[in-house]
Amino acid sequence: MKPIEACTFDDVLIAPRYSEVRSRSDVNLNTELGNIKLDIPIISSNMKTITGSKMAATVAAQGGLGILHRFCSIDDNVKMFEDSVNELCLMNLQNSQYNSLKIGVSIGVKEEDKWRFERLYNVGARIFCIDVAHGHNILVKDMLTWIKKRISEEKITLIVGNIATAQAYEDLVEWGADVAKVGIGPGAACITRQRAGVGIPQLYALEQVYDASLSSKRPIPIIADGGISVAGDVAKALKYADAVMLGSFFSGTTETPGKVFKNIDGDFYKTYGGSASGENKGENKFVEGIVKTVKFKGKVKYLVKELVEGLQSACSYVGAKDLIEFKENCEFVRLSPGAQRESKF
């Protein structure tokens, strides 16, 4: 069978069109993910070196969503969630019950993760990310079934991933997921494609999943996870997705877990690693992620501002007043190698 030709972010640009948007600041970036209402479509990645309590609270205070990682003991996970809620209370002066709805948590698919779910739910967590490398899997189906039987009275939001195909999306809908997280192998610290030879170029994966959502009887929102290297990639992803999850883009910021170090040249840096790295797994068996150093970038709020302004500019270039119009108006042009060089990709 002939391989499918698939493209990703660096292969396309957004074509400009007539616009009646007078100022990019007029563009509304609100989005919804199940029961979650966000002012901006930005989510911090649930990676050990990206989202702890400070990152989750800061991104939530900016109008986005922080999803805490799960690479710690259950007790530490509970404390991290409570610390995030308390920190967000100080930032927003809101009550803790409201702020608990702005912080997400993560679980896996092992038996111990059922206890992790119970503990986090009992302290107020209502946004859960079932977080595995391959979300189109019977273990994910089993965990979703267990949660759905366990929680019947109060609404929660179940984000599930990662997937990369239309069939996976359709199955997650059938299994009861509220949000689908898309991306297998595009992350800067992920080496799944090199190690396993598995993956789908991210923009093509998003397009296929989005097309499946258009014909679904119960369409669920889409999160684009991975492959974002510059602010313009966020706009390209949102042609098909409802929000983007950022890992490497936020790496090295003040709010990421870990200390700031200085190298022999006097440059400041922090460490950043993929969720499937040996450091996160706590073992040196076959892994699909790496750990590396990244330049210290300062406060994350400045990167969020850059993303927001870039996305608002993209909307204004295509005459879109909000993200719904952006999806309709955004059209891609395919780039030749020369056009990629011209675009500095």
Confidence of residue 151 (pLDDT cuts 50, 70, 90): confident
What mean pLDDT comes out for the span 202-228? 97
At 90 the pLDDT is 87
Give mean pLDDT, residues 171-193. 89
| pLDDT interval class at 282 (50, 70, 90) | low
Cα 87 to Cα 23, 37, 58, 100: the distances in Å are: 34, 20, 8, 11
Residue matched to tokens 């997937």: 163
Tell me if 124 is assigned to some domain. Answer: yes
> Would you say residue 4 lies in a domain?
no
Q: Chain-centre distance of CA 200, in angstroms?
A: 17
Give the mean pLDDT of 214-233.
Answer: 96
Whether residue 286 has pLDDT greater than 60: no
Q: Check whether 104 has a pLDDT greater than 50.
A: yes
129, 190, 315, 330: the catalytic one is 190
User: Do the domain assignments include residue 1?
Assistant: no
Least confident of 139-148, 172-181, 186-195, 275-284: 275-284
Would residue 72 show up in a list of annotated catalytic residues for this protein?
A: no
| Residue type at position 223 | I
Does pLDDT of 96 surpass 90? no
Give the three-state DSSP class for 107. strand
Let me know if residue 2 belongs to a domain.
no
Q: Is the pLDDT of residue 306 over 90?
A: yes
Average pLDDT for 154-182: 95
pLDDT at 279 over 60: no
Residue 83 lies inside a defined structural domain of this protein = yes
Q: Percentage of the chain surpassing pLDDT 70?
A: 92
**pLDDT at residue 277, rounded to an integer:** 42
**Structural domain contains residue 101:** yes
What pTM value is reported for the model?
Answer: 0.92
Pairing relationship of beta strands 291-295 and 268-273 according to DSSP bridges = antiparallel
Q: What is the mean pLDDT of residues 185-207?
A: 85
pLDDT digits (tens, 9 = 90+) for 25-35: 999 999 999 88
Residue 310 sits in which domain range? 9-342
Q: Where are the beta strands (DSSP E) in 196-286?
A: 222-225, 243-246, 261-262, 268-273
Q: Under a CB-based contact definition with an 8 Å cutoff, are residues 173 and 271 in contact? A: no
Report which secondary-structure segment, H or E, holds 157.
strand 157-163
146: domain CATH number? 3.20.20.70
Q: How many domains does the chain have?
A: 1
| Spatial distance between the Cα atoms of 91 and 61, rounded to a whole number of angstroms | 7
| Bridge partners for 322 per DSSP | 28
**235-247 tens-digit pLDDT:** 999 999 999 999 9
Phi, psi for 220 (deg, rounded to 5)? -115, 150
> Rounded to an integer, what distance in angstroms lies between the CA atom of residue 313 and that of residue 63?
18
In this structure, how many other beta carbons lie within 10 angstroms of the beta carbon of residue 197? 8
The string of DSSP codes covering 274-314 is -TTSHHHHTS-SS-SB-EEEEE--B-HHHHHHHHHHHHHHH
